[in-house]
Amino acid sequence: MLPFAGRLLTCVPAWAKRLKDERFRSERLVKDANHGGWTSKLDHGAYLLHASRAIGLSRPTIYRVTPQQRRSIAHRPRILHVIANAWVGGSTQLILDLHDYLSHRFDMRVATSALPAHGRHEGMTISVVPKSRVEVQRTLTNFNPHIVHIHYWGDVDESWYRPFFEIAAEFGYPILQNINTPVAPFDSVQVAQNVFLSQTMLNRFGSTAPARVIHPGINLELFAPPKNPESDSYGAIGMVYRLERDKLSEASIEPLITVVKRRPQTRAIIIGDGSLFPHFRARVQEECLLNRFEFVGYVPYEKLPDHYARFKVFVAPVWQESFGQVVPFAMSMGLAVAGNRVGAIPEILGDASTLGATPDEVASHTLRLLESREMIDAVGARNHSVARANFSVERMAVAYLDVYKTLIPAEAELMPDFPSAEYFPL
C-alpha cells in the first residue's frame, strides 16, 4: 500500500496544477452590467470537460466520421492513409473528410505512430505502428492496399515515414504523397503522384513526380456566417491554432497584446492549446491584460463555429503556412483576416492588403479593421465569396477521387465505366 500511496501523493500536486490550468481555460469574459467592462466568469460545462480530460476520467471525441453516402460498395478498393500522428490538425481533418465523402467507394484504414493523449476519433480504423520495418511490413501485408496515401511532413518524423515509402515501393503499391507542410517531397523512392496543398508550396519545392494542387476543403454549411453573432463581436479578435512551434512562435502573441493595449475596449480569444500556452499566458499576465484575454483551450471540431462567431477579426500570426484550414474557416464565416505575409496565406486570401511582415504591422492592420465596421464587413464579405468559390469540401473530394481512379490498378476498379464525380456549386 505504501508505494501506491506514495505514487498517489506524488500525483496530487500535478493534478492540482492541471485543474488550476483547466479552470483558467474555462473562464469566459462577460460584460459587467454595473460598469460596462469585462469580467471573468467560469463556464462550468467547459470546466467539467477540461478537468475530466486532464485527469484522465474522459476521452472526448475529437473527430467523428459522418459518411455522406448511406450505402457502400461491398468490395471496395483499399487505401491506407499513413500519417505520423493523428492529433488535432489539418492533416487529420483531411483524412476525416476523405472518409466522410469517399468511404462508400474505398475501404480506408489509417496507420499512425501516435493518437491524441486526451481524446479519440470515431469511425476510422486506426493502427498505431511503431518505427519498425517489421511492423510496417506487417501492416502493409495484412491490409494489402491498392494505394498507399502518405500524408508527409518530414522533419523529425522523416525516419518514421521512410519505411512506409521504401516497403510500399518494394511491394509495388502505388504511392500518393500529400505534402502537407512546407517541406520538400520525399523522393528517395518512386512516387506515383504528389499532391500539394497550395500552389505556393509546389512553386517553392517543385516535384520530380507528377504533381498537382488540391486545396483542402471545408464544410461551407457548418462554417457559415452566424445568423446571430455576439453583439460585441466587432470589438473582439480571435486566433485558432495548436499552440505549437510548427506554425507559431513566442512572438505570435505579441500582435494580439499590442492591439489590446492600444484599444482598451478590445478582447482577445485564443482557441487551442500546446507547449506555447505557458509563455502566452505569462506574457499576457506580464502586461496586466488577463482581464481582456480568454484562453479557451481545445474545443471539439463541431463547436468551432460557435467560437468563431464571437469575434469579427481573425489573427493569423504564423511564421510558416502551407495552407491552414483555420483561415478558410474564418473566411467562410465572413470574418476579416489579418496576419503574417508568409507561405500560402496570400494565396488563400487572394489578397495581401491585411498582411504584414512584422508583429507591429500585423497589429496595425488589425487595429485598422477594428476601427471600421464597414471595412470589417466588406473584407469579410469578400473572404466569404472566395471561400465558397475555392474551398468546398465536396470539390476537394471530387479532386481526390479523380486522383485515386488514376492510381488504382484496373483489376481493382469495380466501376470502370462509371462516370467521374462532378461538383456542381450552388
Q: What is the CATH number of the domain that holds 123?
A: 3.40.50.2000
Same domain, 143 and 263: no
Residue 11 inside a domain? The answer is: no
**CA dist list (Å): 306 to 268, 333, 366, 380:** 15, 11, 22, 17
Same domain, 379 and 257: yes
Q: Which three cell numbers mark 128?
A: 498505431
Q: Which three cell numbers mark 396?
A: 476537394
Same domain, 259 and 211: no
Give the residue from 261, 118, 138 showing the smallest Cα distance to 127: 138
Same domain, 369 and 226: yes
Q: How confident is the model at residue 8 (pLDDT cuts 50, 70, 90)?
A: very low
Cα distance between residue 318 and residue 327, in whole Å: 11
- Tens-place pLDDT, residues 148-178: 999 999 989 999 999 999 999 999 999 999 9
Residue 174 inside a domain? The answer is: yes
Residue 316 inside a domain? The answer is: yes
Same domain, 398 and 386: no
Residue 272 inside a domain? The answer is: yes
Tally of structural domains, the chain:
2
- Tens-place pLDDT, residues 308-352: 999 999 999 999 999 989 999 999 999 999 999 999 999 999 999
Residue 15 inside a domain? The answer is: no
At residue 210, the pLDDT reads 97
CB 352 within 8 A of CB 200: no
Same domain, 130 and 233: no
Question: Partners of 218 in the beta sheet?
Answer: 392
Find the domain containing 196 and state its range. Answer: 64-216+392-412
At residue 119, the pLDDT reads 79
Residue 59 inside a domain? The answer is: no
Question: Partners of 80 in the beta sheet?
Answer: 109, 148
The Cβ-side half-sphere exposure at 37, using a 13 Å CA radius, reads 8
Residue 48 inside a domain? The answer is: no
Q: Which of 116-130, 221-235, 319-333 has the highest mean pLDDT?
A: 319-333
Same domain, 203 and 294: no
Same domain, 185 and 315: no
Same domain, 178 and 74: yes
Same domain, 73 and 209: yes
Q: Which three cell numbers mark 74?
A: 461491398
At residue 95, the pLDDT reads 97
Record the pTM. Answer: 0.89
Q: With residue 376 as reference, give the H or E element that holds it.
A: helix 373-390
397-423 mean pLDDT: 78
Residue 24 inside a domain? The answer is: no
Cα distance between residue 168 and residue 173, in whole Å: 5
Q: Is pLDDT at 5 greater than 70 in this prediction?
A: no
Same domain, 113 and 186: yes
